[in-house]
Structure 1
């Protein structure tokens, strides 16, 4: 075998090696994107939606207590309810927030703080004025609704990213199969080929 043929064989083998290596790295990147997307959908969207649902349940309970003038709720249960809401808020803060989501979430926290002040006034007041509390509860409900819409939009976006990654993986898998078939045919031709002079 001449030196030129040896160089040609080494170059061919290196080419195959680099093609396999590059497709492997692309596949690994796509798998990482897919894994991140699925994890994000669960941890930052489904869990966050559940937290928002639980907060809204507590807010509805407060609203019922205000509308029904349930002073016993504010004397005995409201502090525990506020602690439960605080715990849910802290857990929600640990999820990955988009810029828009962070803005709405900050507004929610401010309105919750405002509600606490109004509740103190309400429990210490003889007149039991409810308009301000009901308005605050409506604001909080609107923020929770807006946050739930962000969850839906971001979940949809993450699904799109994961679908793109799966499509890319499928495409490269097909390309790899075609490449391997072509390489097998080429190797067969090289093995079976007999020059005319031999």
Structure 2
């Protein structure tokens, strides 16, 4: 009867041990998922936020370059505008390769429209044969550059907002991973204790004497 009770306890402990093992396995899978999510979040921060912010910064530099040349040396601006515009188009193409939210796509469309208007003003400025006409276009073109810089500032603000959301998400993933890791360690300790209890509670082996063999 005593052995039967011991065996029943061992069976219960064995079932509990299997349950704990399954829980450890599930938590291990969750931790792996957390690592993948965190890796994706960090990759997105770099590829779609930091790189995009770098594109915005370089676009701003190109527009400031045009703005300074317009104020200082109009002829030099007209000679270098094609090269500058090609660089701007490449930066826009690189920016479009990043992951855009709906707000960013709308703001980018607005920026491209503003850039197109500036290029039209530049073409009129270049091919105008009248100095008076060029003098009239100068403030229009300068105002258009200001609009472009405002559009770029709007994109930069959106980048900061989306980047902060990704950072917050990364913090939540890291916090969840810490909780599940501690739970996993606790369950492994419980699993070890159960293993010890099961082996400690094994029924003692029957003892045989020399006289039992004679019988």
TM-score, normalised to structure 2, is 0.83
CA distance in 1 between counterparts of 2:202 and 2:70 reads: 95
Judge conservation of contact 2:107–2:154 (CA < 8 Å) in 1.
yes
19-28 or 89-98: bigger deviation: 19-28
1:101 aligned residue: 104
CA distance in 2 between counterparts of 1:72 and 1:169 reads: 57
Residue of 119, 122, 132 corresponding to 2:122? 119
Structure 2 unaligned regions, length at least 5: 207-215
Please say if 1:184 is aligned against 2:192.
yes
Please say if 1:173 is aligned against 2:176.
no
Structure 1 unaligned regions, length at least 5: none
> What CA deviation, in whole Å up to 9, does each residue of 1:147-190 have, x standing for no partner?
11111111111111111111111111100111111222222223
Residue of 37, 44, 54 corresponding to 1:40? 44
Which structure is higher in RCO with an 8 Å CA cutoff and minimum separation 6?
Answer: 2
Within a 5 Å distance, the mapping from 1:1-198 to structure 2 comes to 8=12, 11-74=15-78, 76-125=79-128, 126=130, 127=132, 128=134, 129-193=137-201
Q: Of the two, which has the highest radius of gyration?
A: 2
In the alignment of these two chains, the number of paired residues is 196
Deviation at 1:123, TM superposition (A): 1.2
CA distance in 2 between counterparts of 1:194 and 1:141 reads: 79
TM-score, normalised to structure 1, is 0.89
Judge conservation of contact 2:63–2:145 (CA < 8 Å) in 1.
yes
